[in-house]
Amino acid sequence: MGGIVAEEGWLPVPGGTVFANIFAKQWLPSEPEAGAPLVLLHDSLGCVALWRDFPERLVRATGRRVIAYDRLGFGASSPHPGQQDVAFVTAEAQLGFAAVAEAFALKQCVLFGHSVGGAMAAACAAQWPALCVGVITESAQAFVEQCTRDGICAARDAFAEPGQMQRLERYHGDKAGWVLAAWVDTWLSEAFRHWSLAEVLPYVRCPALVLHGEHDEYGSRAQPLRYAQGIAGDTTLVLLEDCGHVPHREKPAEVLEAVSAFLRTLG
């Protein structure tokens, strides 16, 4: 495959004001697309920039267009107007994802979500069944485990160390404090303790690929099993050995191979 063309810009938030915009970027193959584009949904501290070279590698491996965006409050998108609501996972289907679907005039797409982005991918597929022809979850949570809360507590303590917040500020600017609080305060709150996708997964009727590292510090094997057992569509579960919470960075070749094989089954 030849060169990859990258384009980026800002999209209006559905129902928002002209001052609230979402940053999005797409990578286009030089040859005609091989199938429905992939839409990437980032994790709790993530953004487009933190996908690093993975979108380009996806394009080269699959021949498909790849689109990624920063949720409201993250990366280059506008600041979030308030606190993150406990229903934020399912609400994303009518916020950032809706903006992307409209702006890019998507007829069909495959959703790829990392961590909480994987939960959002499933929620989007449930709410947009005609649009979403496939779902890929990576290190995604389907419910709140104690190990998830423990991992978040450890991360919170680490960010309290001198100089650590600069890591987030590099990608989120003056929104970094909100980004960290949105993750920590939401997941550790009593209101979120019993959150799950139990009522959502049966409405995911498209095929799904579930990726999970065997040493994921934010979720046990019970998480991918919940996706595999709960999703109504045909599901492929891949557990990656010697891998933690970020398989696309820790085991990129294995992830690209699994994704490419899954996409071939979609036609």
Q: What is the pLDDT of residue 6?
A: 84
How far apart CA 165 and CA 177 sit, in angstroms, is 8
DSSP lists the bridge partners of residue 136 as 112, 209
Low-confidence ranges of the chain (pLDDT < 70): 1-2, 15-19
Q: Quick check: 134 and 206 in contact, CB under 8 A?
A: yes
In a domain, 60, yes or no: yes
- Cα–Cα nearest to 96, from 172, 164, 209, 20: 20
Q: What is the pLDDT of residue 1?
A: 45
CATH code, domain with 251: 3.40.50.1820
Q: Quick check: 121 and 137 in contact, CB under 8 A?
A: yes
Q: What is the pLDDT of residue 20?
A: 80
Q: What is the pLDDT of residue 30?
A: 86
The amino acid that residue 207 corresponds to is P
In a domain, 95, yes or no: yes
Q: What is the pLDDT of residue 2?
A: 53
In a domain, 173, yes or no: no
Supply the pTM of this predicted model.
Answer: 0.96
Q: What is the pLDDT of residue 31?
A: 85
Q: What is the pLDDT of residue 14?
A: 73
How far apart CA 134 and CA 140 sit, in angstroms, is 16
- State the total domains in the chain: 1
DSSP lists the bridge partners of residue 22 as 11
Instruction: State the residue range of the domain holding 129.
Output: 5-143+197-266
3-class SS of residue 29: coil
φ, ψ of residue 140 in degrees (nearest 5): -85, 150
Q: What is the pLDDT of residue 185?
A: 97
In a domain, 129, yes or no: yes
Q: What is the pLDDT of residue 25?
A: 97
